[in-house]
């Protein structure tokens, strides 16, 4: 059985890494986490806009059935299937974001983490946990039981 009161090696800073470096890596990691959240919102936007377009198509059909063919035609040609920005539907925005900014930032964060802290993630948070938890107290363990 492992000592649950000791953090895993992956959460202990390597020898020679300064407080300033751990803080900088924490800030870089936090910045990327914000980009991840933004990416999630972009995917939500993509799905919402797709659903809205389908509903607008349904409204077009219903307007035709209700005897409003001119309004239905304006909806069909002005809104349904329209690009949301010049030349792009939302799937194209998602793809460009994923292939460009998001991939570049993700790769950069990992490269710098590998260079400066031996690839270890969340060192800033791991050290914060160590400083804030009550050592030896239940529910304040450094890590879960092995296999969890």
| For the chain, domain boundaries | 27-132
Average pLDDT over residues 7-32: 94
Q: Please determine, for residue 139, whether its predicted confidence score (pLDDT) is greater than 70.
A: yes
109: confidence class by pLDDT, cuts 50, 70, 90: very high
Q: Please determine, for residue 135, whether its predicted confidence score (pLDDT) is greater than 70.
A: yes
Phi, psi of 26 (to 5 degrees): -60, -40
pLDDT of residue 6: 87
Residue in the block written with tokens 């492992």: 2
Average pLDDT over residues 117-145: 92
Look up the pTM and report it: 0.85
In 3D space, the residue among 50, 106, 35, 58 whose CA is nearest the CA of residue 81 turns out to be 50
pLDDT of residue 2: 55
1: confidence class by pLDDT, cuts 50, 70, 90: very low
């Amino acid at each position: 059985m492992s000592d649950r009161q000791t953090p895993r090696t992956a959460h202990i800073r390597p020898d020679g890494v300064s407080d300033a470096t751990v803080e900088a890596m924490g800030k870089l990691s936090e910045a990327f986490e914000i980009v991840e959240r933004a990416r999630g919102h972009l995917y939500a936007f993509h799905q919402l806009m797709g659903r809205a377009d389908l509903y607008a198509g349904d409204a077009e059909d219903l307007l035709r059935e209700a005897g409003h063919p001119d309004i239905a035609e304006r909806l069909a040609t002005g809104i349904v299937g329209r690009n949301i920005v010049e030349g792009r539907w939302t799937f194209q925005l998602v793809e460009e974001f994923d292939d460009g900014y998001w991939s570049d930032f993700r790769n950069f964060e990992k490269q710098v983490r590998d260079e400066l802290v031996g690839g270890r993630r969340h060192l800033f948070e791991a050290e914060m946990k160590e400083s804030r938890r009550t050592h030896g107290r239940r529910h304040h363990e450094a890590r879960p039981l092995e296999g969890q």
